[in-house]
Every structure is written in structure tokens, then in C-alpha cells.
């Protein structure tokens, strides 16, 4: 019964994340990962922290942080439309764990580009290969925004340790 409840909570979180991200029309740029060194090429900024910049109209722009911890294998890279299975552990910036497919022992499957997950995930897996491990640092604007989501407070930066299990 407890496992069923956890799975239901995860499903509700994904659906709500989808709903929230569909209403957000602004899209933040993605920090590009170098294919040669697999490191973020962003001067004077930590690898796993989102970046704030001010544009001429003084709006904050937040960027997704991507750190490749372990390179994947094979020639196939994730692109929009792919069905992928991933293991993940989600934490807040204070280290509080809020969800983990690893703890449940079941990878999470979703299709890239279909709005099934938060924008930080939609963008953060593009270009990854099977077996690749990444740390995604997702600003609130690419996560759940200004709304509470279960144990996740509004305006929270989310940190996900992710591993690509399969690409279909």
C-alpha cells in the first residue's frame, strides 16, 4: 500500500509539473555541454548552480545547470520524441531529498518533448547517452515556479542526480 501511495504521489507531481510548465510561456536558455570535454563552458560560475543575468529590460533569466558526472556509451543521443527511462534522486539546495526512483527501484519513463515533466528535465536530458550520469541544477522557473509542490517549497531550485537507463 505504501509503494502504491508513493507511485501515486510521483504521478501527481509529474502531472502537476506538466500543467505548471505548460502555462509558463517563457523559455530559459540551456547551458550547453561541450561534446569534447563534457564540462560546462561558463566562465566564473559553479558547474551545478543556475546562472542569473539581467537583460536590458531587467528581467531575471535563469539557466539550467548541467554537470556530466559520467559519460554515456554508444552513438545514440537523446533527442525530442525519444522515450527514455531514467533513475533520479531529487534534492533541494539544502540537501533535503524529496523524491528518488532509485529508492523505489524502478526507473521513471517519459517521452522527451511532450510536456510530461518539468522544463528542466525536458532540456536537461537532451544530448545524453545510455549510462550517462548528470547533475541537473534546475532553477524554479524551469521547475515548479512560484507554487508549492508536495514537500517542495515555491521558488525552489531543484538538484537532480540522474542516470539514463535506456533510450527507445
Domain ranges of the chain: 65-167
Quick check: is 11 catalytic?
Answer: no
**Which range has the worst mean pLDDT, 6-15, 65-74, 113-122, 124-133?**
6-15
What is the tens place of the pLDDT at every residue in 27-50? Answer: 333 444 433 333 333 333 334 444
Beta carbons of 157 and 116 less than 8 angstroms apart: no
Quick check: is 144 catalytic?
Answer: yes
Distance CA 140, CA 151 (A): 14
Quick check: is 98 catalytic?
Answer: yes
CATH code for residues 65-167: 3.10.50.40
Catalytic residue chosen out of the listed positions 144, 152, 159, 167: 144
Quick check: is 88 catalytic?
Answer: yes
Catalytic residue chosen out of the listed positions 6, 18, 82, 88: 88
Quick check: is 108 catalytic?
Answer: no
> Mean pLDDT across the stretch 67-91?
98
pTM of the model: 0.67
Catalytic residue chosen out of the listed positions 118, 152, 159, 167: 118
Residue 6 pLDDT level (bands cut at 50, 70, 90): low
Catalytic residue chosen out of the listed positions 6, 18, 82, 98: 98
Catalytic residue chosen out of the listed positions 40, 66, 99, 167: 99
Amino acid at each position: 500500500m505504501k509503494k502504491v501511495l508513493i507511485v501515486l504521489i510521483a504521478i501527481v507531481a509529474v502531472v502537476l509539473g506538466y500543467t505548471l510548465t505548460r502555462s509558463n510561456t517563457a523559455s530559459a536558455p540551456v547551458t550547453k555541454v561541450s561534446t569534447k570535454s563534457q564540462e560546462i563552458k561558463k566562465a566564473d560560475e559553479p558547474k551545478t548552480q543556475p546562472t542569473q543575468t539581467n537583460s536590458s529590460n531587467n528581467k531575471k533569466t535563469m539557466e539550467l545547470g548541467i554537470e556530466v558526472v559520467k559519460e554515456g556509451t554508444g552513438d545514440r543521443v537523446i533527442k525530442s520524441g525519444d522515450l527514455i527511462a531514467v533513475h533520479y534522486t531529487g534534492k533541494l539546495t539544502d540537501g533535503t531529498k524529496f523524491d528518488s526512483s532509485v529508492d523505489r527501484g524502478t526507473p521513471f519513463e517519459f517521452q522527451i518533448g511532450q510536456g510530461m515533466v518539468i522544463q528542466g528535465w525536458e532540456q536537461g536530458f537532451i544530448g545524453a547517452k545510455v549510462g550517462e550520469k548528470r547533475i541537473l541544477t534546475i532553477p524554479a522557473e524551469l521547475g515548479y515556479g512560484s507554487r508549492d509542490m508536495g514537500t517542495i517549497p515555491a521558488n525552489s531550485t531543484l538538484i537532480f542526480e540522474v542516470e539514463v537507463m535506456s533510450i527507445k
